[in-house]
Structure 1
Amino acid sequence: MLFKDLVQSWLKYYEKCVKPSTVRVRKHESGHLINYFETIKAKNITKKMYQDALISLKDRLSDNTIEGVHTSGRMIFGYALEFDILKTNPTQYATVSRTQKTVEDIENTKEIPKYLEKEQLSLFLGAAKEKGLSGDYAMFLTLAYSGMRAGELCALKWNDIDFNEQNLSITKTYYNPTNNNLKYELLTPKTNTSIRKIELASIMLDELKKAQSSQNEIMVLYRKTYHDKGFVFVNNENYPVYPMYIKMIENSNETYIKAGQSCY
């Protein structure tokens, strides 16, 4: 069996056990190995050949990406051993050496803030409220006050919100690698602990109620064509917003905050 065929055999087995988003990652990672071993028989791949492939990847991939490639490699050859396709595992003893930073590297690295300070958040939410598109303020307010992941927010439905108990339930996440409105999927959360309830602050409750009322008015006007699947945050075509939309606005935060102007 050629290595590329072994990978395809493993993927067909693997995709039955995990979410599509995980399969997509593994396909990408195993693709790097296919570039090296595509036309080589799997049984002829030696431990040295496999280690040399990992070393060669350091010229163009990050340490974390190579770690992922190695993880997929171990899974592929582990599958081959489990089902008696191969008798040896070339990934055994293979290592991924991490790049050592010099003092100069550390000194020259510019720290990129991973969060907004209180004043910056207030400035950004103010822009969303005054300058943003319809629903932007409620969306970013919910993200800021709840700590939800973007995919969880995109999958949020009105029946996940309990206005009486003042909480919302996280039970799913949004998946749409092509950012095509019509081709989204709802998947289970990232981990079991991701299934949770979040208390809603009064400011969130008020804005979500306003958003629901506004959405109901639009539904009445366009009841025949409205894509009514119960999503809280929707785009102009009434399909759920996707994470890339949120990311685009997040990427403009720094420019906006520095300039003191709207990021929209």
Structure 2
Amino acid sequence: MGIDPKTGIRKTKTRRGVKTKKEAVAAAAEFQKEIDNNALIRNDITFEDAFKEWWDVHSKTIKRSTRYSKLSKFKKHILPHFGKLKIKDITKAYCQKVINRIAQDIDSVQDVKIQANLVFKYAVRMDCITINPMEFVVIPKNLSREEEKRNFWEKDEIKTFLEKAHSQLEQQDYVMFYVLIFTGMRKGELLALEWKDVDLKEKTINIKQTMFFKDGKEVIQTTKKYHSKRIITIDDHTAQILKKWRAQQKEILLSNGITSEAKYVLIRGDMRPLRLAYPNDLLKPYDR
């Protein structure tokens, strides 16, 4: 019947009461059919049980920020639908129904499927089930949405926004949006950016770290993937904006009695980096 992942011991089952070889062969065939239909493999294990076994190993192979976001996704979108169900009883139809429902609420349903699929794959490897029901799920397109929401601005919209930002926002906020737009940096990368990684003479920005928040605290770590570590070349105007901002930042600190230089390009009043949600909060009135 497979191997028990908790003990590593092969699981076997015996049936008695047959009188002839023909009856024994027929009984064995029926028994195999039950195994193939998941009827006899770890009958008591729930999806949450399988998740905990899988997570105990998988969580040790990823960074803290990834662990936090993945666990949040499981708790919010996956375990409420699958957690208490016996994994052998979860059908393809039920998986499709759940994905359809989730797709009505969030755009990242593809990632929800990917994460849930990892647990089902683990369950197959551990002989909890023989078929992965999530493998056959199709991601619905435009479900309950007449039109996909556009998640980018056109060139003229960017120009209008920057004009408003320059006239209506603090200089640091204008610099923040300008650099995000014209460098392609991720918001966490910009908020974790230190002046020592900005070379205004060579007009380059060295991306070496990023920021995420956990339990209300800033966490700065090295970028998680090799291709995320990169050097960005900036144009003359972006370099001038950063140069001007660096001088203004020093003046602001001096006016507040702070003689030490800021470590980060963008800071709060106490010289800590800005909150990760700050750009989004500031952008809401302009995001139509």
TM-score (norm 1): 0.74
Aligned pairs (5 A) from 1:26-37:
26-31=70-75, 32-37=77-82
Aligned with 1:11 (options 55, 62, 65): 55
* Partner of residue 109, structure 1: 147
* Partner of residue 248, structure 1: 281
Deviations 1:120-152 (A, max 9, x none): 323322222222124112212211221212121
In 1, Cα distance between equivalents of 2:99 and 2:228: 34
Aligned with 1:76 (options 99, 115, 119): 119
SS at 2:205 equivalent:
strand
- 8 Å contact kept, 1:19–1:187: no
Deviations 1:218-247 (A, max 9, x none): 4444449x8x77110112343212342212
* Structure 2 gap segments, 5+ residues each: 1-44
Q: 1:35 deviation in Å?
A: 2.7
Give the direction of change, closer, same or farther, for the CA distance of 1:229–1:77 in structure 2 (3 Å limit): farther
TM-score (norm 2): 0.69
Aligned pairs (5 A) from 1:182-197:
183-189=217-223, 191-197=225-231
Q: In structure 2, give the amino acid aligned to 1:35.
A: P
Aligned with 2:243 (options 194, 198, 209): 209
Aligned pairs (5 A) from 1:99-138:
99=140, 108-109=146-147, 112=150, 114-117=152-155, 119-138=156-175
Number of positions where the alignment pairs a residue of Structure 1 with one of Structure 2: 240
SS at 1:250 equivalent:
helix
* Partner of residue 91, structure 1: 132
In 2, Cα distance between equivalents of 1:35 and 1:110: 27
SS at 1:187 equivalent:
strand
SS at 1:135 equivalent:
helix
Give the direction of change, closer, same or farther, for the CA distance of 1:244–1:94 in structure 2 (3 Å limit): same
Q: In structure 2, give the amino acid aligned to 1:216.
A: K
Question: Is 52-61 or 196-205 further displaced after alignment?
Answer: 52-61
The answer to whether residue 87 in structure 2 is matched with residue 45 in structure 1 is yes
In 2, Cα distance between equivalents of 1:128 and 1:101: 33
CA RMSD of aligned residues (A): 3.2
Q: 1:94 deviation in Å?
A: 3.2
SS at 2:57 equivalent:
helix
Q: 1:198 deviation in Å?
A: 1.4
Aligned pairs (5 A) from 1:145-184:
145-176=182-213, 180=216, 183-184=217-218
Q: 1:205 deviation in Å?
A: 1.8
Q: In structure 2, give the amino acid aligned to 1:8.
A: K
In 2, Cα distance between equivalents of 1:130 and 1:25: 36
* Structure 1 gap segments, 5+ residues each: 256-264
Aligned with 2:103 (options 33, 56, 62): 62
In 2, Cα distance between equivalents of 1:199 and 1:149: 15
In 2, Cα distance between equivalents of 1:66 and 1:56: 12
Deviations 1:186-240 (A, max 9, x none): 233354222211122222222212222233334444449x8x7711011234321
**Rg (Cα) greater in structure:** 2
SS at 1:97 equivalent:
coil
- 8 Å contact kept, 1:54–1:96: yes
Give the direction of change, closer, same or farther, for the CA distance of 1:235–1:2 in structure 2 (3 Å limit): same
- 8 Å contact kept, 1:175–1:186: yes
Q: In structure 2, give the amino acid aligned to 1:11.
A: W
